[in-house]
């Protein structure tokens, strides 16, 4: 078990497009170790997703999991995706709050497609097609953006709904205070 250091905004690795994982490396000890360490890391920091460039590995690999242990927060089973790409993204968009393990404790309101279809390889190298909506669709868009050097701040239409976690809880949850705080991705 290893908790990896998470690159913070300003580190160039977060802005580089990540390389596809070569098929011959899938299932090998080096990639499996990276996947296990990323799972340990995202759990340690209470995130719902982590992309390999965030741990200084510029390859197309993301890990997503939400235990659903907060009220109103849907669970997402542990999902490991290699070389993911969007097959479909809905034109219908909704804005919701996001955070990022690479962006300190800032929270921002980000528009995302409500539904997506993603094609990827699983950790065994099998092709998988995922249909997702809601939180899962949002996290997929956030993580796959990381593989292309895109940070959630780039997706905000307006930087005014950007807040530190403490101020977010205090001033932005408001009447919807029963909504859970976003976990960083
Ligand atoms: Ni992130």
C-alpha 27 – ligand 1 centre gap (Å): 25
Q: Is the pTM of this model over 0.75?
A: yes
C-alpha 39 – ligand 1 centre gap (Å): 14
C-alpha 14 – ligand 1 centre gap (Å): 9
Tell me the backbone φ, ψ of residue 70, rounded to 5 degrees.
-110, 145
pLDDT, one tens digit per residue, over 52-68 is 999 999 999 999 999 88
Q: Which residues have CB atoms below 5 A from the ion given as ligand 1?
A: 100, 185
Share of the chain above pLDDT 90, in %: 88
DSSP 181: P
Among all residues, which ones are annotated catalytic? 143
Residue 49 has pLDDT above 70, yes or no: yes
């Amino acid at each position: 078990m290893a908790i990896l250091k998470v690159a913070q905004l300003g580190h160039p690795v977060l802005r580089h497009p990540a390389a596809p994982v070569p098929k011959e490396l899938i299932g090998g000890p080096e990639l499996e170790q990276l996947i296990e360490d990323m799972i340990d890391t995202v759990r340690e920091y209470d995130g719902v997703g982590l992309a390999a460039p965030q741990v200084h590995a510029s390859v197309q690999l993301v890990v997503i999991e939400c235990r659903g242990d907060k009220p109103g927060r849907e669970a997402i089973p542990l999902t490991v995706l290699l070389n993911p790409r969007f097959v479909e993204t809905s034109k219908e968009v909704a804005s919701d709050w996001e955070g990022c393990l690479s962006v300190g404790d800032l929270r921002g309101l980000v528009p995302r497609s409500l539904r997506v279809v993603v094609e990827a390889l699983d950790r065994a190298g099998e092709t998988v097609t995922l249909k997702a909506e809601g939180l899962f669709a949002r996290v997929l868009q956030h993580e796959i953006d990381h593989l292309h050097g895109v940070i959630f701040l780039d997706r905000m239409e307006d930087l005014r709904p950007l807040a530190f976690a403490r101020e977010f809880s205090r001033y932005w949850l408001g009447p919807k205070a029963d909504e859970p705080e976003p976990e960083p991705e």
